[in-house]
Structure 1
Amino acid sequence: MAIEPEAGSGVGGRAGRGPARIVLVVAAATVPLGLFAESAFAHAGAGTPTLLYDLTVGWAFAAAGLVASWRQPDSRSGLLMACEGFTWFLTNLQGSGNDVLVTAGVLFGVVNEAILVHLVLTFPTGRTSSRPELALVVAVYAISVAGGLVYLDTAGTTAYDPYRCQGCTTGIHLFAGNAALMGAAQRAVEAVGSIAGLTVTGVLLSRWLTSTATERRLRAPLWLSMGTCALLTASHVTQVFQMGIQEPASQVYLLISDVAQLTIPFAFLGVVLRLRMTRAAVGELVLTLGSELSLDGLRDAVARALGDPSVEMGLWDECPGAFRDAAGRAIALPEPGDRRVADRIERDGRPIAVFVHDHVLADDPRLVRAIASALRLVAERSRLLDDLRGQLDEVRASRARIAEAGDAARRRLERDLHDGAQQRLVTLSMTLASTLRQLGDTPEAADVRAALALAGDELRQSLAELRELAHGIHPSVLTDHGLAGAICSLAARMPVPVEVAAAPDRYPAAVELTAYYVLGEALTNVARHAGASCARVSAAAERGRLVLEVEDDGRGGAVARPGSGLRGIADRVEACGGSVSVESPPGGGTRLRAELPCG
């Protein structure tokens, strides 16, 4: 089943409002009917404990029907429970002393058993799921109505009848005349009722044996109702074989039957509340975890709430076209006829996630939608994180390309200066020196010699500055002697003593160049701002990363402000996928640590 985001509607929607109103009317009518029916039952001689038990059973079914209809408006189970409570009291009208009410109590009171069978066979949807199930429900209703018609003319034939009292009427006899025929009809109806009862009990037992652990927990009312159905079936069997039950034993039987039926509405109510609590647990999980909500965390929480460790959740992986769980394993979707169901979470017709669960959860679509909504949040969060990671990777790659392009441009500029302007200046210097040698020591040449000597000095100074500029653009010592040699060269130009600890290892050219500029900038900060008396520099490879450290004993308090040297170091290192940390307590010196990937 595919689940798209809901547009947002009230609980249950308009479709569930009509049945909910009917349930409300039936449940409300159960209150006065129960009071009147129990007064009739009292007229027939029922004691106070029996009356209280009877009232509790009927009203419990009505209350459970109201709650079930409110929590699951799309299900008919709430209506069936309310009708079960209403018809529960109709039987007691047999003690009213009024022919019409007694007749109504007989004809409609026996429908109570049929409604109970209908409820337990179709829980929790209240709808039959197959033709044999529908046929069984219709047959039970037909047997109940036929039994009511027959009972009108055979009332009082059993040894114990709770509604027969002094002065009570037996109602309107529709088929009076042939007592033997009606007795045989009664036994036939009871025989068919016994067969139907055994069939219903067998169906419930078969469902129990073939159900999953999750289904057994969530459908507890069905299993509790098996005992009730067995009791009702036993009642029909006694009628078939004309087994006389004396009054004390019959009273015990009625009490046990009432208590057994009393457990059913509370069990149904317990299932409804359990599903509601599960939905609340899912919502609470989303609120509690917030931004930390993850696929495996949601799966584990839902599995605990449902008591079903077989629950699976996965996100859609576009490349292989499959759903994958939190560990990256592909999820095998259930085949048709499997007892597990796969709910695909979609957006705009495209799959984004899947929720694989026991088929019994399909009976509570609100719970499935709640879990699907939480899973959709996980999927959207994962998608946004993937997009963000992709953008960050692209930014890092772009910064790395910019840095590499800048390094390449500096290398070209250094090469052009070395091969162009620097070579021409060297040639010019040699030409001036040669001209000076060719001039004689005559007084006339003295002024020329002085001018040429001055020009030579300026030329040598310009050449030295040009070489220093070329060295700053791209240090040739780095190319010739590696990072260790370049660090020693930097340390030699420092105004304070610098201890160097660097192995003569070679690293990728881009890594060495970045390391050189990081150390150069850090040492410049030491010389200009730290007020240090000494410094220490180290460079070493650790687990595929080049670790650089610069320490000084200066005043500390260094801060990476925008445009500062420290900010430039961080930008340069992060562009290569590295990291920088700075420890600079006031008065405690500064320690800079940079890590560059070099594997």
Structure 2
Amino acid sequence: MAHWLAASRRVPLVVTAAVVAYAIAVVYVPQTHGAMSTDGSVSTAAHAADLVAGLGLLAAGGFALTELRARRIGLLACLAGVVWFAPDWDGWDAGPGLVRTLGAAAAPLFLALVFHLVTASAGRTRSAVIRGAVRAVYAIAAGMSLAVVLLRNPFLDPYCWRSCDANPLLLVSGVGTTRAVSHAAIGVEIALGLAVVALAAARAVRRLADLPMLIPAVIAGIAAVAHAGTVWENPLEGQHTGALQALYLVSACAIGALAVGTSWCVLRLRRTRDAVDRLASELAESPPPGGLQRALADALGDPVLTVHYWLPDAMSFVDEEGRPSPPPGPGSGRAVTSITRGGTPVAVVSSDPALLDGTDLENRIGSATRLAVENERLRAEVLARLAAVRDSRARIVGAADATRRQLERNLHDGAQQRLLALSYQLRLAHMEAVAEGDDDLAALLDTARDDAAAALEDLRHLAQGIYPAVLTEAGLEVALATLAETAALPVELVATSLSRLPATVETTAYAAIAEAIDDASLRGATFVTVSASREDDRLLIEVGDDGRERTAPLIEVDDRVGAIGGSADTGPTSLRAVLPCA
């Protein structure tokens, strides 16, 4: 392991040294060993743009190699910088034939490397589609390179405007074969250019933070397509036309901007790593309760970062508020980091893979920070259990209200109807006794009829107390008006214009107000004021009276309101309750 780590540390040094040597060769050789017939040699501006683009990629790659998380980006940028100068080696007038042939062969790989570099900017590629696209692009470019080496005779190529020496690796020579390879090269340039444009544009829509890298890639892809189309139209005109010079300058400037964007992405990764390190230190010292997710999101610059806490008893994940929150699955495009403590799962962090992948994040979270995460998990577990208790209480209250509604309906449809029928029969019997002149029987039936009417009225009051039918039929506003009319003391309704609310909310509000009115009557109040109004997604209830001060809170009201997630504040002669309506 130690040997592998030492070797991994030497890789950036070796690559950087090779990059520096290559850059020196690119600058030195044309000055001392003959001119070059290339796009970059047409003018001073083109030569400067050529060097800025290629050396910029090499410099960006070398900078990226210093960051462990960005070494893949660094290697791709270095390779892209090397291949960018491939047409220059192909156009080296005094160069060996083998060098020129290899330069021509390497040129088609440039757009493939740019394509791969764009995918690497989003972090480790997890999408099977993207991985397949990268392989396909490389396969097309490599096939084109092989065809250029083995099948293209520069003397027979109508698109060859440089010093077209013999190809020392040529296997098959023929006008038709060479033309076919040349036409295929133009088609490949168009296809790869469009692939770069499509990928970078799609990424730019979803990843605004990578725009400094993606916009130049789009421009470079468009310039490549335009260049291929222009060459197709003018195969024998040469590369010195104004249109082709302009396209080359646009392409070179875009690649230079791509190098700057690559360096910016690497710098962002470094800032993110430092921010996570600072966060780990802060969490180890004094972790703020309930602030881990926000702190991680701020540190990584990922506003949609989510921490999913594992509850071993429930065998499920919850968020920081205790709500169910399963982590994203494979193919979601999110990096998933599993945080463990003592081999036991604690949490899972889903984040943007381009900022810091799961392995890096887990490695940078020390043991002290894992303790903070464990504390957050315990807090989330407590909140989840509280939520489960609230849901259980709400279900109990809902079941009790449903039972009361059913009991009220049974009394209305059963006992009350029978008492009504009995009263009607007693009335008929009383009329018959009066008609027959049986005064004793008539008086007895009259007493029985009065008793039946009193029993019916008592039963109606009992049913109303169990559950007011008007609440189900007409809503809280009408039910409160009915309650005010039947109360034992004057009740003034203030601001009670309400639309229909969820049944549980209406029942709880009615029960709380009825309990407050009964309590006011027991304390000798002479009047009660009731206010019920909706504010956004909450129902605000206020009840006041002029009775004696309370000596104990309204426990039943507190329990009922709390069961549906509301809150109740009982004063000496007042009640204020807030009920959620959503």
TM value normalised by structure 1: 0.53
For structure 2, list consecutive stretches of 5 or more residues without a partner in the other structure: 381-549, 554-582
2:86 pairs with one of 90, 93, 99: 90
2:328 pairs with one of 325, 334, 338: 334
Q: Identify if the C-alpha distance between structure 1 residues 71 and 219 changes in structure 2 by more than 3 Å, giving closer, same or farther.
A: farther
Helix, strand or coil: the match of 1:29?
helix
State the 1:262 CA deviation.
Answer: 0.8
1:266 aligns with 2:267: no
Helix, strand or coil: the match of 1:351?
strand
- The aligned counterpart of 1:352 is 346
- The aligned counterpart of 1:580 is none
State the 1:55 CA deviation.
Answer: 2.0
Q: Identify if the C-alpha distance between structure 1 residues 41 and 294 changes in structure 2 by more than 3 Å, giving closer, same or farther.
A: farther
Residue identity in the other structure for 1:116? V
**Separation in 2, partners of 1:110, 1:337:** 31
Higher mean C-alpha displacement, 294-303 vs 369-378: 369-378
**Separation in 2, partners of 1:73, 1:312:** 21
CA RMSD of aligned residues (A): 4.1
Q: How does 1:154-553 map to 2 (within 5 A)?
A: 157-158=158-159, 161=161, 164=162, 170-172=165-167, 174=170, 178-179=174-175, 181-208=177-204, 211=206, 215-218=207-210, 221-242=213-234, 247-288=241-282, 291-294=285-288, 296-361=290-355, 363=357, 365-367=359-361, 369-370=363-364, 375-380=369-374
- The aligned counterpart of 1:485 is none
**1:21-40 deviations in Å (ceiling 9; x for gaps):** 45224313222222135436
Helix, strand or coil: the match of 2:58?
helix
- The aligned counterpart of 1:460 is none
Q: Identity of aligned pairs, percent?
A: 25
Larger of the two Rg values belongs to structure: 1
- The aligned counterpart of 1:143 is 144
Residue identity in the other structure for 2:135? L
Residue identity in the other structure for 2:63? V
- Contact kept in structure 2, 1:194 and 1:236, CA below 8 Å: yes
- Contact kept in structure 1, 2:109 and 2:138, CA below 8 Å: no
Helix, strand or coil: the match of 1:80?
helix
- The aligned counterpart of 1:116 is 114
**Separation in 2, partners of 1:125, 1:199:** 19
State the 1:153 CA deviation.
Answer: 1.4
Helix, strand or coil: the match of 2:66?
helix
- Contact kept in structure 2, 1:23 and 1:65, CA below 8 Å: no
TM value normalised by structure 2: 0.54
- Contact kept in structure 2, 1:69 and 1:78, CA below 8 Å: yes
- The aligned counterpart of 1:404 is none
For structure 1, list consecutive stretches of 5 or more residues without a partner in the other structure: 1-8, 387-540, 545-599
Residue identity in the other structure for 2:241? E
**1:188-233 deviations in Å (ceiling 9; x for gaps):** 3322432343244334444555x4xxx4424752453122122112
Q: Identify if the C-alpha distance between structure 1 residues 354 and 180 changes in structure 2 by more than 3 Å, giving closer, same or farther.
A: closer
**Separation in 2, partners of 1:29, 1:542:** 90
Helix, strand or coil: the match of 2:350?
strand
**1:239-294 deviations in Å (ceiling 9; x for gaps):** 33447575222222211111011111221121111011012112223445663322
- Contact kept in structure 2, 1:91 and 1:109, CA below 8 Å: yes
Helix, strand or coil: the match of 1:338?
coil
Q: Identify if the C-alpha distance between structure 1 residues 279 and 140 changes in structure 2 by more than 3 Å, giving closer, same or farther.
A: same
**Separation in 2, partners of 1:66, 1:364:** 24
**1:93-125 deviations in Å (ceiling 9; x for gaps):** 223423424334323344434433343344456
Helix, strand or coil: the match of 1:327?
coil
2:101 pairs with one of 100, 103, 120: 103
Q: Identify if the C-alpha distance between structure 1 residues 241 and 322 changes in structure 2 by more than 3 Å, giving closer, same or farther.
A: same
Q: Identify if the C-alpha distance between structure 1 residues 150 and 112 changes in structure 2 by more than 3 Å, giving closer, same or farther.
A: farther
**1:132-174 deviations in Å (ceiling 9; x for gaps):** 4312221122223434666651588459x5xx4xxx5645474
- Contact kept in structure 2, 1:278 and 1:305, CA below 8 Å: yes
**Separation in 1, partners of 2:250, 2:358:** 32
- The aligned counterpart of 1:528 is none
- Contact kept in structure 2, 1:20 and 1:73, CA below 8 Å: no
- The aligned counterpart of 1:63 is 59
Helix, strand or coil: the match of 2:338?
strand
**Separation in 2, partners of 1:289, 1:362:** 18
Residue identity in the other structure for 1:233? V
- The aligned counterpart of 1:51 is 47
Q: Identify if the C-alpha distance between structure 1 residues 385 and 247 changes in structure 2 by more than 3 Å, giving closer, same or farther.
A: closer
2:77 pairs with one of 74, 81, 86: 81
**1:457-501 deviations in Å (ceiling 9; x for gaps):** xxxxxxxxxxxxxxxxxxxxxxxxxxxxxxxxxxxxxxxxxxxxx
Residue identity in the other structure for 2:101? T
Q: Identify if the C-alpha distance between structure 1 residues 282 and 120 changes in structure 2 by more than 3 Å, giving closer, same or farther.
A: closer
1:34 pairs with one of 9, 26, 47: 26
**1:362-416 deviations in Å (ceiling 9; x for gaps):** 6474245436878524225669999xxxxxxxxxxxxxxxxxxxxxxxxxxxxxx
Residue identity in the other structure for 1:120? V
- Contact kept in structure 2, 1:33 and 1:86, CA below 8 Å: no
**Separation in 1, partners of 2:288, 2:209:** 27
**Separation in 2, partners of 1:79, 1:306:** 24
Q: Kindly tell me the number of residue pairs found equivalent between the two proteins.
A: 372
- Contact kept in structure 2, 1:114 and 1:140, CA below 8 Å: yes
Helix, strand or coil: the match of 2:217?
helix
